[in-house]
Amino acid sequence: MTPSANLQGQTALVTGASRGIGKAIALALGKAGAEVIVNYSSSSNKAKEVVEEIISSGGNAYSLQANVAEESSVNEMVKTILERSGHLDVLVNNAGITNDGLLMRMKTEDWQSVIDLNLSGVFLCTRAVSRSMIKQKKGRIINITSVVGLMGNAGQANYSAAKAGVIGLTKSTAKEFAIRGITVNAVAPGFITTDMTKDLNSDQILSAIPLGKFGSPEHVAGAVCFLAADPAASYITGQVLQVDGGMVMS
């Protein structure tokens, strides 16, 4: 599928882009014409494969290692991008982990690790890119949250809390940055076919999805490309776009 968005001349950073949804987003942004920075934490070989796939399709990309839960690592990554590419126009905060368990048995470190990466990581990356985006008076920040941030989920108190926090962070930063020409939106995937969902009870979940099927990473990538597009999405900010097959309707 070729994205309809035209992102020629744009530079986009996708965190956690070596696999799954992040990979699909990176590939789609590359096909739309953006120079893509494929961020990874430890999967250097997989990140390299994503870069090679983008380049082989006629795009431009490179990979950078950074743990988005660590302030110094994030700041160094953004500094490198600005030095190498000259500007940063699109940030997709996608990196995330799960560490599931019932709250009464959840270890503090299992709570904190998810909050640190899934929520604090979004804060750190957003803050790191904000100065350059404000200076250039334009930018697109797209945060990948989840439907569980809207409805909760038993056994995922840490993940649900982090993703709900991302929604609040999205709305707050959208209000702060709007006057500077920067839009901030969130995409909330439902159940998407990835390594993270492969062991779930699909029959039980499918009964709760009106469209009756799991989504694909490409469905999420299409939503991200739309929100990154200019001028198509230039008047949209502070919104949560659900890509969930109708699972959560408000």
Residue 5 is assigned to a structural domain of this protein:
no
Q: Would you say 91 and 129 are in contact if contact means Cβ atoms under 8 Å apart?
A: yes
Residue 204 is assigned to a structural domain of this protein:
yes
Catalytic annotation, pick one of 40, 62, 159, 235: 159
Residue 37: CB partners within 8 Å, gap ≥ 6? 11, 12, 13, 14, 61, 62, 63, 64, 81, 85
Tens of pLDDT, residues 40-73: 999 999 999 999 999 999 999 999 999 999 999 9
Residues of the domain holding 139: 11-243
Q: Would you say 20 and 217 are in contact if contact means Cβ atoms under 8 Å apart?
A: yes
Which amino acid, one-letter code, is at 85?
Answer: S
Overall domain count for the chain: 1
Q: Could you tell me the two tokens for 127? A: 């803050």
The CATH number that applies at residue 114 is: 3.40.50.720
Residue 214 is assigned to a structural domain of this protein:
yes
SS3 82: helix
User: Nearest 10 degrees: CA dihedral of 229, 181, 74, 8?
Assistant: 30
Active site includes 159?
yes
Residue 1 is assigned to a structural domain of this protein:
no
The CA-CA-CA angle for residues 46, 19, 168, to 5°, reads 135
Residue 223 is assigned to a structural domain of this protein:
yes
Which of 140, 132, 220, 205 has the alpha carbon at shortest distance from 173?
140
- The two counts, helices (H) then strands (E), for the chain are 9, 7
Residue 118 is assigned to a structural domain of this protein:
yes
Ordered mean pLDDT values, 10 residues apiece, the chain (250 residues): 76 98 98 98 97 98 98 98 98 97 98 98 98 97 98 97 98 98 98 75 82 95 97 97 92
Does the pTM surpass 0.85? The reply is yes
Residue 69 is assigned to a structural domain of this protein:
yes
